[in-house]
Structure 1
């Protein structure tokens, strides 16, 4: 009965989101995004309080540790969603529907991964070694990627397969999945980007599911913590869109968290050890990391990561450059609606003002980026053309 009520509640929240927020295409205001993000976080926290009251302090700590970890990993996923929506040139008003459908697909797939993981854990104690190694490798990959250059648009096997199998048109028709082109019924890019969002998030589950199993083996807690972290992801995307680029050290924090959980899993595997070639198949008694300590370390690492990111001059410069580049590309290639292109142009002007407020050593480096300078120049020229043609409001020129 508990499982049934929980699943019905989650499905009800998804349906509510679709019919009352997403069905009519629009760009959510900052207030709307903040309000609904707060509501979904409150629901998750109240659920955790209920778990603590009825299940005890240990279960409550496991749920909150899992929820905080999954939420942190979800924020990292938003970077990829941002790149995907940009590379597919999805109009801003239609991004909500894409995200919601992708999240729903991911939630169903993750439920399958959770039950598969639980079955493996119950059957093979050595699976904890595998999960721990996966997380340690992922932590290393995050550190290596952090030192790389500008991130390219994702292009994993699911996206490549979808592009090959799904025959789509080159242009959107509102938020429709199908349209008519030359008298033939074809799919719009909307369906392809939904597959890309859902498929990419499924690939993220290969890291996040082992991570949460490292904090609790209670399948119900794993499922609910994962579900609640995903349910508020759409609203969170629009709330922190402008702050995503500022979290320059988030990958370091996530790498530390995944490494911590990876070590915790391997230590647990040593206690449950029955692998013949490790200690002759006998358990290895080593100190384990408690759930309370894990929760405290996870929260501490995240707070430190966010504070250092926000205070970092390098982070501020990187934020302004990435935001200006994205706004210019969005204005040139994505948004054609006069209501929104005017808004984006104003945001671009704000980002350019931010660039000018940076110390001289950063401005010199920015002026040396020919690709960025050319992008900004073309955006201003395109704005003048649109104002002259009436495709953008002339009031933007005053900004």
Structure 2
């Protein structure tokens, strides 16, 4: 897809406008996000992504439209895995509920900017060295196997560990351990101090870089068009804040998510290797975009269904269900007394 500088500029301006609307309408005033609000905004961002993909189709860019939808679904499914770590980060820094949406909004924006750098670098490498697809493919297959191993391991509950960049910032910049609303810096006794609000925002944004190490090669396995890669990532990430509040309580029920993601990454890894072999002149079958989109969607549906069934069988409760059960038990005790 031949994209001019003007189209790139209009796309970025359009995304910035959508982000501004999201902030001023739903995120300007700190508050606890309800399931209804999260559901509405999640639907809005998904609808915008669908409209963008259909817009490409209406312009006659059939292949670009298919690549966008495949990339968007892949990035969206991989971003759900990010939410598990975001939950750990929120708990680690004891972020008050009313400030969590602001933390996620800024953190996701940081992540989007950093991913843009990864995408630019990836596009330059892919256009220069065709053999890099062998590396990308092998890396994704290895990541898929690692995910399976981690899912099968009977490990204790994970704890978030700060990355090196975050530790460096905390060592070099004076900080306070108390939240002061949404302020990033305060002054105490004439000293400028960084608040936990800024620290946790940096934690969200920089932690996403680790996920980009597999998600960016994955989407380059579906399309080599930098414009499609960027827009698919942008739409997938910008709805992540609302998705956090919408399915936060359901994350524990997605017990087979790692297996599903490993299948998707492994599938795309094989697709990349086949593509690299084809480019090298070896006669091998090439997996089309419609087939890729079908496989990815099928894996996600099967994973969700089997996860919910297994969770119900094991009696896994969401935080809301556990709270309701505890309340009922308390009322029952009061009645007995």
> TM > 0.5 between the two?
yes
Structure 2 stretches of 5 or more lacking a match? 1-5
Matched, 1:48 2:22: no
Alpha-carbon separation, structure 1, partners of 2:148 and 2:164: 23
Select which of 97, 101, 105 maps to 2:106. 101
What residue number does 2:204 align with? Answer: 197
1:155 equivalent in alignment to 2:129: no
Q: How does 1:242-391 map to 2 (within 5 A)?
A: 242-273=249-280, 283-313=281-311, 316-317=314-315, 319-320=316-317, 323=318, 349-350=323-324, 352=326
Structure 1 gaps, min length 5 = 274-282, 325-345, 357-379, 381-396
Q: CA deviation at 1:349?
A: 2.8
Q: Which residue of the partner structure matches residue 186 of structure 2?
A: 179
Change in Cα spacing, 1:316 to 1:26, as seen in structure 2 (3 Å) is farther
Task: Between the two structures, name the one with larger relative contact order (CA 8 Å, sep ≥ 6).
Answer: 2
Counterpart secondary structure, 1:63: helix
Question: Can you list the C-alpha shifts for 1:190-237, whole angstroms capped at 9, x where unaligned?
Answer: 111011000001221111110000001111111111100011111111
Per mean C-alpha deviation after superposition, the further-off stretch among 59-68 and 12-21 is 12-21
Q: Counterparts of 1:74 and 1:214 in 2: how far apart (Å)?
A: 17
Sort the Cα spacing of 1:315 and 1:43 in 2 relative to 1 into closer, same or farther, 3 A: farther
Deviation at 1:347, TM superposition (A): 6.8
How big is the shift at 1:4? Answer: 1.2
Which whole-Å CA distance do the structure 2 matches of 1:286 and 1:31 have between them?
A: 49
Q: Which segments of structure 1 move beyond 6 Å, counting only runs of 4 or more? A: none
Q: Give, in angstroms, the shift of residue 155 of structure 1.
A: 3.2
Contact 1:158–1:200 (Cα < 8 Å) also in 2: no
Distance 2:181 2:57 in 1: 45
**Cα distance in structure 1, aligned partners of 2:327 and 2:286:** 51
Query: Which stretch of structure 1 is more off in the superposition, 146-155 or 100-109?
Result: 146-155
Asked if 2 retains the 8 angstrom alpha-carbon contact of 1:248 and 1:315, the reply is no
Name the CA distance, whole Å, in 1 between partners of 2:325 and 2:222: 41
**Cα-to-partner distance string for 1:57-93 (whole Å, 9 max, x where unaligned):** 3222111110000000111111111111111100010
Deviates more, 1:184-193 or 1:82-91: 184-193
**1:128 correspondence with 2:133:** yes
Q: Greater Rg, structure 1 or structure 2?
A: 1
Question: 2:249 aligns to what SS in structure 1?
Answer: coil
Does structure 2 conserve the Cα–Cα contact (< 8 Å) formed by 1:176 and 1:190? yes
Instruction: Report the Cα distance in structure 2 between the residues aligned to 1:154 and 1:52, rounded to whole angstroms.
Output: 44
**Matches of 2:325 and 2:283, distance apart in 1:** 56
